[in-house]
Structure 1
Amino acid sequence: MASAGVIDVHAHVVLADTLGAAGAFGPELGRDGEGSPWFRIGDYHLHGVRYEGSPFMDPALRIEAMDRAGIDLQVLSPNPLTYFHFIPVAEATAFCRRHNDALAALIDAYPDRLAGFAAVPIQDTAAACEETERAVRELGLLGPYIGTDVGRHLNDAGLDPFYETVAALDVPLFIHPAPAGIDGPPGDANLRQFDLDIITGFAAQEAIAVATLIYGGVLERHPRLDICLSHAGGATPALIGRLEAACMKRPWAPPQLRHEGAFRNSLRRLWFDAHVHDARVAALVVELVGMDHLVLGTNFAGWDQGEITFLGERAVALGANARRLLRAAA
Structure 2
Amino acid sequence: MSARTLLVDVHTHLYLPRYASLLRSRASVPMIRSRADGDRLIILDNEPSGGRPVGSQYWDRDQKLAFMDKHGIDISIVSTANPWLDFLSVSEATSMANSLNQDLEEYCSSGPSFSPTLQRLYGMGLLPLVPSISVPTILDEVDHVAQLPHLRGVIMGTRGIGKGLDDDALEPVWSKISDKGLVIFLHPHYGVSSSDVWGEKDNGHVLPLALGFPFETTVATTRMILAGVFDRHPSLKILLAHSGGALPILSSRLASCITHDPVVASRLQHDARWYLGKLYYDAVAYGAEELGFVSSTIGRAGKYGTPTTEAVAGSSHMTFGTDHPFFPPILDAVKQDSKWMSVVENLKAIDGVRDWSEAEKSAVRGQNALKLFGLN
Q: Same fold judged by TM-score > 0.5? A: yes
Residue deviations 1:237-285, cap 9 Å, x none? 22123112112111122426487xx222111011111110222211110
Kept in 2: contact 1:172–1:228 (CA 8 A): yes
Within a 5 Å distance, the mapping from 1:3-14 to structure 2 comes to: 5-14=6-15
Within a 5 Å distance, the mapping from 1:162-311 to structure 2 comes to: 162-179=173-190, 187-189=193-195, 190-191=197-198, 193-195=203-205, 196-255=207-266, 257=268, 262-289=271-298, 290-303=314-327, 305-307=342-344, 308-311=347-350
Kept in 1: contact 2:125–2:145 (CA 8 A): yes
The one-letter code sitting in structure 2 at the alignment partner of 1:76 is V
| Aligned counterparts of 2:150 and 2:343: Cα–Cα separation in 1 | 28
Residue deviations 1:5-38, cap 9 Å, x none? 11111001011122344875797544213x2321
Cα displacement (A) at 1:44 = 8.2
Q: How many residues align?
A: 318
Cα displacement (A) at 1:79 = 1.1
2:362 aligned with 1:316: yes
| Aligned counterparts of 2:273 and 2:66: Cα–Cα separation in 1 | 40
Structure 2 stretches lacking a partner, 5+ long: 114-118, 299-313, 328-340, 352-357
Kept in 2: contact 1:175–1:230 (CA 8 A): yes
The one-letter code sitting in structure 2 at the alignment partner of 1:115 is Y
Cα displacement (A) at 1:161 = 0.6
Counterpart in the other structure of 1:142: 152
| Aligned counterparts of 1:273 and 1:134: Cα–Cα separation in 2 | 26
Q: 137, 143, 153: which one pairs with 1:133?
A: 143
Kept in 2: contact 1:19–1:27 (CA 8 A): no
Partner SS for 2:41: strand
Partner SS for 1:120: coil
| Aligned counterparts of 1:241 and 1:40: Cα–Cα separation in 2 | 37
RMSD: 2.7
Kept in 2: contact 1:294–1:321 (CA 8 A): yes
Partner SS for 1:266: helix
Q: Whose radius of gyration is greater, 1 or 2?
A: 2
Partner SS for 2:182: coil
Cα displacement (A) at 1:84 = 2.0
| Aligned counterparts of 2:95 and 2:239: Cα–Cα separation in 1 | 26
| Aligned counterparts of 1:254 and 1:272: Cα–Cα separation in 2 | 26
Q: 76, 80, 83: which one pairs with 2:82?
A: 80
Counterpart in the other structure of 1:183: none
User: TM-score, normalized by length of structure 1?
Assistant: 0.86
Deviates more, 1:37-46 or 1:320-329: 37-46
Cα displacement (A) at 1:176 = 0.3
Deviates more, 1:265-274 or 1:315-324: 315-324
| Aligned counterparts of 1:256 and 1:215: Cα–Cα separation in 2 | 8
Partner SS for 1:155: coil
Cα displacement (A) at 1:133 = 1.1
Higher relative contact order (CA 8 A, sep 6+): 1
